[in-house]
Structure 1
Amino acid sequence: MSIYNNILVVANLNSEEQPALVRAVQLAKKSRSRSRISFFLSIYDFSYDMTSMLSHDERDAMRRGVIQQREEWMKTLAEPFTDDSFDLEIKVVWHNRPYVAIIEKVFEDSHDIVIKATRKHDILESVIFTPTDWHLIRKCPAPVLLVKNSDWPANANIVASVHVGSENPTHIDLNDCMIQQLDSLTERLGATGYLVNSYPVTPANITIELPEFDPATYTDAVRGHHLTAMKALRQKHGYAEEQTIVEQGLPEDIIPEVAKKLDAAMVILGTTGRTGLSAVFIGNTAEHVIDKINSDVLALKPDGYISPLAPNEE
């Protein structure tokens, strides 16, 4: 299966640097088949729509002028990256909600990934995710890669947060999908892949309610179950034991710890289940995980996910 050959890159309007475009070009150049990159920007200025002194045609003309200016600006930014090995198009639209415009473009041209830069805080060295980022993570039907910066380190590590120990078909399928993406990315970006899983801490109230309960035995049993499940998963996909990590704790603690320990350049997270997001990565939990990760983040959804912005087929 060909992965990430129809790429939508969201332009960074506030900077001459375009790390998302850099990452897209890296993927395109390493593709086994010809790739297509759409360099995309959604712009809107409220004042252009509210100027009562101008006619409808005059406002349209002004909007077209602004769009043309931005297209020329984007062509200048993209020029150093143009290459005969892939196709690159420039697209600017007038829309008051950027995330809606992005998702509409995904549906229109069947893009298989969206790549967008995140904002990096200069003082705390942390990544700040914008409302558009969160809307895309929750509602975009395609995988969303949020890029921290354009530099991709040599001998990089990529961490995939898998969910082992569950017999839920959605989790099983998503694990396979995540590892498939991991394999493709490690090959194309020259990286090493790791699988990480966390398992829950034994609830303290159980020992109070059940005096005969042995928490140590229970914890050993849970850990053993997860280790066995991880072994089966790594053997299924041809990963070495040293490329798998199983730790006790909450995912919002374990995933950032492992990412920091491995100096991961990218973390892959799965989002499944309720309203398109799992109980593991939903709401505040997802934000806690991602806010602690100072690396690229790839958010994947399961097969069959239906975006709330999917066009009606009536």
Structure 2
Amino acid sequence: MVIFRGFFPMLELSRILVVIEPGSDSQPALDKAVQLAKYTDSELELMICDYSAYLEDGYYFDPIQAQKMRYEHSELHIKELEAMAAPLREQGLEVTVTAAWGNPPYEEVITRVKDSNPSLVIKSTRHHNKLARMVLSNEDWELIRYCPAPLLLVKSQLWPSSPVFLAAVDPDHVNDKPAALDHKIISGAASLAAISGGQLHLFHSAWQPPLAGVYKVLSDANQEGNKLKNLATLNGICESSCHWSDEDVVHALPTTASVLNASAVVIGAVSRSRIDRVLIGSTAEKVLDQLECDVLVIKPD
């Protein structure tokens, strides 16, 4: 059991919005949402967001026909969602369903989030055949940037008993993250650990770009260790659960997550501007695509 003493309230999971992949036999996001709902007695909302250019007014059909076909299309999705919801309701879970149509679909998710204010949004990533692993799609990245609620991107199977959650923090704040965001990241990871009977670990990469692009900048081990230890102490986390590396975060974070057999990595995201769109497409994209476990994205207040 995790005993957490932090600056932010624990992540509340009273209502979970689950983004369903239409027509897919496998629904990892739904499986993970059901697991969390059974931990916390959360309400579930299942949502399909779909779009087809063929159903646009004037593409193949006149506006009246197109509107009718969009309605029928949404009704088919509602039936699909109700078929998923029925066995969950029999298990005692409270489940509602929603279907939306629009382009791009992620904007429909964000609109629903703003309207219903869920505690958490869960979405599965997609399998990339060439890489034989789960990678983030453009829709995932847009949700990372703009979804106002905590976002859980599901890559792995159901969490085992005593799962490990790894909070990626930055005591240096060299990336201009708000200082409070680290504590909120830790709070989110601690929440997942607490409800699942899991373990909480902290990770920090002290890597700096090489001088002149060639010479590696060495980190002070004692200084880096103490900075992470101080952050851990402020949040009631033991030193043995702290991990730092002077290697590039692109390699160090996935490696640490793999060594710990982490079920999820918790990160912070502040990307909303056009400049951030460029930055988030470089280091962050490489890191998140290489992680084999789930990723929980936390936004600052």
Letter in 2 for 1:234: A
> Which residue in 2 is equivalent to 1:9?
18
Task: Say if 1:295 and 1:177 are closer, same or farther in 2 by CA, change over 3 A.
Answer: same
Cα gap change, 1:38 to 1:277, in 2 (>3 Å) = farther
Give yes or no for contact 2:156–2:292 (8 Å, CA) kept in 1.
Answer: no
Q: Structure 1 CA distance, aligned partners of 2:110 and 2:45?
A: 13
Unpaired runs of at least 5, structure 2: 1-8
Do 1:42 and 1:94's aligned partners in 2 also have CA atoms closer than 8 Å?
Answer: yes
Whether 2:219 is the aligned partner of 1:219: answer yes
CA distance in 2, matches of 1:55, 1:207: 62
Within the candidate set 89, 95, 112, 1:88 is matched to 95
Are the counterparts in 2 of residues 266 and 297 from structure 1 also a CA contact under 8 Å?
Answer: yes
Query: Structure 2 CA distance, aligned partners of 1:124 and 1:55?
Result: 42
Q: Percent identity?
A: 29
* Contact persistence 1:120–1:126 (CA under 8 A): yes
Q: Aligned-pair distance for 1:272?
A: 2.9
What is the SS of the residue equivalent to 1:155?
coil
1:135 paired residue number: 142
Distance 2:142 2:269 in 1: 13
Q: CA deviation at 1:189?
A: 2.6
User: Which string of whole-angstrom CA distances, capped at 9 and with x for unpartnered residues, describes residues 129-188 of structure 1?
Assistant: 111001111111112111014422233211110111349995431111011111110122
1:25 to 34, 49, 57: 34
Alignment of 1:141-290 (within 5 A): 141-166=148-173, 170-201=177-208, 203-205=210-212, 219-220=219-220, 223-272=221-270, 275=273, 282-290=280-288
Return the letter of the residue paired with 2:70.
Answer: R
Q: What is the match of residue 46 of structure 2?
A: 39
Q: CA RMSD in A?
A: 3.0
**Greater C-alpha radius of gyration:** 1
Q: Which moved more, 1:245-254 or 1:47-56?
A: 47-56
CA distance in 1, matches of 2:180, 2:249: 19
Normalising by the residue count of structure 1, what TM-score does the alignment of the two structures yield?
0.82
* Corresponding letter in the other structure for 1:96: N
2:133 corresponds to which of 110, 120, 126: 126
3-state SS of paired residue (1:176):
helix
Shift of 1:126: 2.1
| Distance (whole Å) between structure 2 residues aligned to residue 55 and residue 240 of structure 1 | 65
Alpha-carbon distance in 1 for matches of 2:63, 2:290: 47
The whole-number CA distance in structure 2 between the counterparts of 1:165 and 1:85 is 46
TM-score (norm 2): 0.86
d(CA) in 1 for partners of 2:212 and 2:58? 64
Cα distance in 2 for residues equivalent to 1:207 and 1:150: 40
User: Secondary structure at 2:94's aligned position in 1?
Assistant: strand
Contact 1:26/1:189 (CA < 8 Å) preserved in 2?
Answer: no
Q: Partner residue of 1:307? A: none
Shift of 1:292: 1.0
Q: For residues 149 and 167 of structure 1, do their structure 2 counterparts lie closer, same or farther at Cα, with a shift above 3 Å needed?
A: closer
How many residue pairs are counted as aligned between the two chains? 292
What letter matches 1:25 in structure 2?
V
Shift of 1:206: 11
**Contact kept in structure 2, 1:161 and 1:269, CA below 8 Å:** yes
Any gaps of 5 or more consecutive residues in structure 1?
209-214, 304-314
Cα deviation for residue 266 of structure 1 reads 0.8
The one-letter amino acid paired with 2:27 is: Q
- State the match for 1:296 in structure 2: 294
Counterpart Cα distance in 1 of 2:280 and 2:91: 41
Does residue 100 of structure 1 match 2:100? no
Letter in 2 for 1:257: T
